[in-house]
Amino acid sequence: MTFFKHPTAIVESEEIGEGTKIWHFVHVREKAKIGKNCIIGKSAYIDTEVEIGDTVKIQN
């Protein structure tokens, strides 16, 4: 299983956990780490080198 990326999202990081959902207009910068089964909500911005654990929900 992999992660879901909405077509409008920009994901520059290669460290996204299984089952994570990245929604509309999200921007995930390089070297960011997102754990398994997370939800990154519409228009969220995850900056460089930010680390997010498993099963976290972030909304804007």
pLDDT confidence of residue 53: 99
pLDDT at residue 28 above 70?
A: yes
Residue with tokens 């398994």, as numbered in its chain = 36
Over residues 19-25, mean pLDDT: 98
Half-sphere CA count of 29, side-chain side, radius 13 A: 7
Average pLDDT of the chain to the nearest whole number: 97
Cα–Cα distance for residue pair 3/8, rounded to 1 Å: 15
Other CB atoms within 10 Å distance of the CB of residue 10: 12
Over residues 42-55, mean pLDDT: 98
pLDDT confidence of residue 1: 60
pTM greater than 0.85 (yes/no): yes
Q: What percent of the chain has pLDDT over 70?
A: 98
Cα–Cα distance for residue pair 55/57, rounded to 1 Å: 7
